[in-house]
Amino acid sequence: MEPFVRGYLEGETPNPCVDCNPLRLAALAALAEELGLPRVATGHYARLLWRDGEPWVARAADRTKDQSYMLWSVPPQVLARLEFPLGELTKTEVRAEAAEAGLLVADEPESQEVCFAPAGYQDFLESRGVAPASGDIVAEDGEVLGAHQGHWRFTVGQRRGLGVSGAEPLYVLERRAAENEVVVGGRDLLEVHGLRVHHVVDRALGTGERLEVQLRYRSAAVPVESLERDGAELHVRLRAPFSGLAPGQAAVFYRDDVVVGGGRIAGPAPPA
């Protein structure tokens, strides 16, 4: 939970589920080994493929529930101990089977919040001692448009609840943590054509051929134009613009629906 809090305070939009999965699944795999159990079955909507003796995560049959994005950083030695029995089923089919088996969870509503923050991330951050801090809401040119009580209350791409208005709808473009500023502007200013990725895991990225990259959990994947390594960072050029790039989120790379790598979004790439 500390990386989650720290990420927000540093201007990122963390995804704690991505960080949690490698830890808890490794712990479950270790426990299974202690108990002499060959596999651990989880309820993730994803598929596990075996190629040349190695396990790979692939998209689920139910694309609307696909969770392969959340599993990109689970190492192969842990994947080898897992099973994803829901990967070939739709959510509707799973609910029907649960109802037929008389399970109470068959009609439970789906959770939309982080498991450790059921009241929302803002309340959670405040419960961890993050206090309100007055700052400015500014336009790209620096003009002060309004005030806020903490840059961490906002995320890139947000439109509602800004407390300011303009000639056109305004969106959060950037959170400047050091200055406690929130930068807003028109929707067109949200678009990026490239990004920088760090903490990269490369299983089979190659030079970018036939790659797609997914940049938020529920967003559509974007075709990759090219990859360029710059020290510890990976610079990614996109074939189509992406709107709402948020530092701290995962960039997950797919080839033919199979996860072949990933990393953390550091920010937009410099102009080509």
The CATH number assigned to the domain holding 243 equals 2.40.30.10
Answer yes or no: do 6 and 103 share one domain: yes
To the query of whether residue 17 is one of the catalytic residues in this protein, the response is no
Show Cβ contacts of residue 42 under 8 Å, excluding neighbours closer than 6 positions: 25, 28, 82, 83, 84
Answer yes or no: do 102 and 152 share one domain: no
Answer yes or no: do 138 and 197 share one domain: no
pLDDT in tens, 137-177: 999 999 999 999 999 899 999 999 999 988 899 999 999 99
**pLDDT greater than 80 at residue 62:** yes
To the query of whether residue 20 is one of the catalytic residues in this protein, the response is yes
Q: Is 62 part of any domain?
A: yes
pLDDT at 119: 67
Report, as an integer, the average pLDDT of 7-24.
Answer: 89
Measured on CA atoms in the order 45, 46, 47, 53, is the torsion positive or negative? Answer: negative
Cβ-count burial of 191 within 10 angstroms (0-12 exposed, 13-18 middle, 19+ buried)?
A: middle
Relative to beta strand 250-255, strand 258-268 is antiparallel
Into how many domains does the chain fold?
A: 3
pLDDT band with cut points at 50, 70 and 90 for residue 127: confident
Report, as an integer, the average pLDDT of 72-80.
Answer: 96
Choice among 35, 101, 104, 115 that is catalytic: 115
What 3-state DSSP class applies to 20?
helix
The CATH number assigned to the domain holding 149 equals 2.30.30
Q: Is 223 part of any domain?
A: yes
Global confidence as pTM: 0.92
Range of the domain at 138: 134-185
Answer yes or no: do 102 and 75 share one domain: yes
Report, as an integer, the average pLDDT of 245-269.
Answer: 96
Answer yes or no: do 161 and 228 share one domain: no
Answer yes or no: do 22 and 90 share one domain: yes
Answer yes or no: do 7 and 80 share one domain: yes
- Least confident stretch, 23-37, 92-106, 112-126, 234-248: 112-126
Q: What percent of the chain has pLDDT over 70?
A: 97
Q: Is 163 part of any domain?
A: yes
Q: Is 231 part of any domain?
A: yes
Q: Estimate the crossing angle of helix 2-9 against helix 16-35, to 10 degrees.
A: 170
Burial code of 210-248, b = ≥16 C-beta within 10 A, e = fewer?
ebbbbbbeeeebbebeebeeeeebbbbebeeebebbbbb
pLDDT band with cut points at 50, 70 and 90 for residue 76: very high
Q: Is 124 part of any domain?
A: no
Q: Is 159 part of any domain?
A: yes
Answer yes or no: do 152 and 79 share one domain: no
Do 258 and 188 meet the contact criterion of CB atoms below 8 Å apart?
Answer: no
Q: Where are the beta strands (DSSP E) in 71-170?
A: 82-83, 135-139, 144-148
Choice among 20, 40, 89, 258 that is catalytic: 20
What 3-state DSSP class applies to 17?
helix
Answer yes or no: do 14 and 66 share one domain: yes
